[in-house]
């Protein structure tokens, strides 16, 4: 069976990580953990993009050389991923020798095959985005004069003339259009797919410049057949998806990993991934079946109605959110993960606010999930001698069967949502079961059963039903909230027993007479006010 290959984009290290970086990475980690829960082999790749003009400028401003500068920023990403429980299998840096030599080898192949053309470009260039734009892409009225703005970042463009190496785009457009048309899940969500198809309906630029002259951009991978040029940073970065799994150096390993099952990206870099990337692979001779299976371009997190940006000073720092706003929460990172994946349908834009996060924490996690786990474990301690009781006939009462049926059906609902990359839908389904279980407690009133003569068997059945629901919830929360899932597992007394998705759809797997563990409150209500 092929390993499931999941990627984040490579994050540009001209500044510290922000909420957008964490959102993409948490989503990728969640899907990777889900596939591991299914018993599948997974390869989760993330890393950093460390070349280009902006890096050189940032380094100069900091009084450092570029390598010193990126070496100082990369640990901030690695540290944040550790804090957020990101279970990556490889962290690639574009300054690593394994990447540099592979990129040079692939460019040499393209050059030897006649796929690259040397030419002079004259037109508009965006330095912040390090992107050329044709007049037809500038979205301004015909005959308009003056300095245009970048369609992506809205900053003024500069007129540039420079020599470089170019890859054909327009000649490959019919192939890409046909490929995308026949693969409707190549880009998700549907709105981004439609955006790509609309782009392919218009004539593309004839060529894509894949290099920059050293006299203007010195910090980059040197072009082996043209020493006066370096590789365009975006081309350099995109190659990471095949250099990390060993396209050039380890062909057998590469064959077991490629194609990528899903590239997670932000919607602002759709063009690079859904247009340039497949055309580069096509130029390298990759057949259609070797194209990435899915590119998922999610939305932005905004503050109010504004997109976050360093210039506006409205960047949300995940380290601050986890370390300050949620400082009193033992599972602060999981609370943050839950909020990002639950608050907004994945693919749409969302508005971040501390108030919304705290509301989710109190309403969903403390009052619902935490309440269910704490009440169940407390009653097992009080009425079950701190053990999982031997149940009577489950389903003998009207309240049992609906909850049991909902619990064993929940994994199927979660699987269906995850197949569509609908994280919020999956979490909503889990929380619906949690709410149903809380209502079950009120309906069955175990505290009353404990006082009634001859109702011990019924009490034990109720407690067993609740323990089974909590077990199933703990399994299904693993991809989203790994530390919380593990804590609930330990509280139930399941110890080192593995959490497996297939066990969530089976009823009665928790062992009667199994001692429960210590059960401190998962989400203290007095915290994070």
Mean pLDDT computed over 239-261: 97
Check if the beta carbon of residue 295 is closer than 8 Å to that of residue 270: yes
Contact 158, 122 (CB under 8 A): no
Per the structure block, which two tokens stand in for 370?
A: 């935490």
Q: Is 229 helix (H, G, I), strand (E, B) or coil?
A: strand
Q: pLDDT at position 500, please? A: 96
Tokens 């602002």: give the residue: 268
Residue 131: is its pLDDT beyond 80? no
- What span, in angstroms and rounded, lies between the C-alpha atoms of 295 and 189? 9
Question: Torsion over CA of 476, 479, 482 and 487, rounded to 10 degrees?
Answer: 0
Q: Are 476 and 430 in contact (CB under 8 A)?
A: yes
CA distance 210 to 228: 13
Q: How far apart are CA 144 and CA 140, in angstroms?
A: 7
262-294 pLDDT, tens per residue?
999 999 999 999 999 999 999 999 999 999 999
In this predicted structure, the answer to whether residue 187 has a pLDDT above a threshold of 50 is yes
Check if CATH label 1.10.760.10 holds for domain 4-106+238-321: no
Output the pTM of the full model.
Answer: 0.93
Alpha-helical (H) ranges within 258-385 are 270-271, 277-283, 318-320, 332-343, 354-360, 371-383
Domains 115-213 and 353-504 agree in fold: no
- Predicted local confidence at residue 140, as pLDDT: 67
Residue 484 tokens read as 């919380």
Q: Cα–Cα distance between 314 and 17 in angstroms, integer? A: 13
Parse the chain into domains and list their residue ranges. 4-106+238-321, 115-213, 353-504
**CB of 256 within 8 A of CB of 41?**
no
Kindly write down the DSSP assignment for every residue of 449-499, as one continuous string. Answer: HTTSTT-HHHHHHHHHHHHHHHHHHHHHHTTT-HHHHHHHHHHTT-TTPPP
pLDDT above 60 (res 482): yes
Question: Could you tell me whether strands 207-209 and 158-168 are parallel, antiparallel, or unpaired per DSSP bridges?
Answer: antiparallel
The domain made up of 353-504 is a member of CATH 3.40.50.10860:
no
**pLDDT reading at 471 higher than 70:** yes
C-alpha span between 112 and 114 (Å, rounded) = 5
Core vs surface per residue 429-442: b (16+ CB within 10 A) or e: bbbebbebbbebbe
Q: Which two tokens stand for residue 361?
A: 């924490």
Q: In a 3-state reduction of DSSP, which class is residue 130?
A: coil
- Indicate the angle between helix axes 332-343 and 482-491, nearest 10 degrees: 120
Q: What percent of the chain has pLDDT over 90?
A: 84
Percent of the chain having pLDDT more than 70? 95
- Residues 6 or more apart from 363 whose CB is under 8 A from it? none
Specify the CATH architecture of the domain 115-213. Answer: Beta Complex (2.170)
Q: What's the rounded mean pLDDT across residues 372-399?
A: 89
Mean pLDDT to the nearest integer, 493-516: 94
Specify the pLDDT at position 364. 97
Amino acid 302: pLDDT: 87
Please provide the average confidence, as pLDDT, over all residues in the chain: 93
pLDDT tens digits along 40-85: 999 999 999 999 999 999 999 999 999 999 999 999 999 999 999 9
Confidence band, pLDDT 50/70/90 cuts, at residue 528: very low
343-361: per-residue pLDDT in tens?
999 999 999 999 999 999 9
User: Can you tell me the distance from the alpha carbon of 87 to that of 85, in angstroms, rounded to the nearest whole number?
Assistant: 6
Strand partners, 292: none
Strands (E), 127-267: 131-133, 158-168, 187-188, 207-209, 211-213, 222-223, 226-231, 262-266
Give the total residue count for the chain. 529
- Tens of pLDDT, residues 117-128: 998 877 777 877
Task: Give the model's confidence band at 438: pLDDT under 50 very low, under 70 low, under 90 confident, else very high.
Answer: very high
> Is the pLDDT at 136 greater than 70, yes or no?
no
Return all residues near 188 (Cβ < 8 A) that are at least 6 apart. Answer: 294, 295, 296, 297, 347, 421
């Amino acid at each position: 069976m092929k390993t499931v290959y999941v990627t984040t984009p490579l994050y540009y290290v001209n500044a510290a990580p922000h909420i957008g970086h964490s959102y993409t990475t948490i989503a990728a980690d969640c899907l990777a953990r889900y596939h591991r829960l299914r018993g599948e082999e997974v390869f989760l790749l993330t890393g950093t993009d460390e070349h280009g003009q902006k890096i050189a400028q940032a380094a100069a401003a900091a009084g450092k050389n570029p390598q010193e500068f990126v070496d100082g920023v990369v640990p901030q990403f690695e540290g944040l991923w550790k804090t957020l429980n990101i279970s990556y299998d490889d962290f690639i840096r574009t300054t690593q020798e394994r990447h540099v030599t592979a990129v040079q080898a692939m460019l040499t192949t393209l050059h030897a095959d006649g796929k690259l053309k040397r030419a002079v470009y004259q037109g508009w260039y965006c330095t912040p985005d390090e992107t050329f734009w044709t007049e037809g892409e500038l979205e301004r009225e015909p005959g308009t004069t003056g300095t245009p703005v970048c369609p992506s970042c809205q900053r003024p463009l500069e007129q540039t003339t420079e020599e470089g190496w170019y890859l054909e785009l327009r000649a490959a457009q019919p192939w890409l259009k046909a490929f995308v048309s026949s693969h409707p899940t190549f880009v998700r969500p549907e709105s981004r797919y439609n955006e790509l198809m609309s782009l392919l309906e218009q004539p593309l630029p004839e060529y894509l410049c894949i290099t920059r002259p050293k006299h203007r951009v010195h910090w980059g991978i040197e072009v082996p057949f043209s020493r006066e040029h370096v590789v365009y940073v975006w081309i350099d970065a995109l190659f990471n998806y095949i250099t990390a799994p060993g396209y050039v150096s380890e062909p057998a390993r590469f064959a077991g990993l490629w194609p990528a099952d899903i590239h997670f990206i932000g919607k602002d870099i759709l063009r690079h991934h859904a247009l340039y990337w497949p055309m580069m692979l096509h130029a390298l001779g990759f057949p259609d079946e070797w194209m990435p299976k899915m590119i998922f371009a999610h939305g932005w997190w905004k503050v109010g109605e504004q997109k976050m940006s360093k210039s506006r000073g409205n960047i949300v720092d995940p380290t601050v959110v986890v370390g300050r706003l949620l400082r009193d929460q033992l599972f602060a990172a999981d609370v943050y993960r839950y909020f990002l994946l639950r608050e907004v349908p994945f693919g749409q834009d969302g508005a971040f606010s501390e108030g919304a996060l705290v509301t989710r924490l109190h309403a969903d996690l403390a009052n619902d999930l935490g309440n269910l786990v704490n009440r169940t474990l407390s009653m097992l301690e009080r009425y079950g001698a701190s053990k999982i009781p031997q149940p009577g006939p489950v389903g003998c009462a009207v309240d049992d069967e609906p909850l049991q049926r909902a619990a064993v059906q929940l994994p199927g609902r979660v699987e269906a949502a995850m197949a569509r990359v609908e994280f919020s839908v999956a979490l909503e389904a889990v929380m619906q079961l949690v709410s149903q279980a809380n209502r079950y407690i009120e309906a069955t009133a175990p505290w009353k059963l404990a006082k009634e003569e001859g109702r011990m068997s019924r009490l034990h059945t109720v407690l067993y039903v609740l323990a089974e629901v909590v077990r199933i919830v703990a399994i299904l929360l693993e991809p989203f909230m790994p530390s919380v899932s593990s804590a609930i597992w330990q509280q139930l007394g399941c110890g080192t027993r593995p959490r497996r998705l297939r066990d969530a759809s089976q009823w009665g797997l928790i062992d009667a007479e199994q001692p429960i563990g210590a059960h401190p409150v998962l989400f203290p209500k007095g915290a994070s006010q």
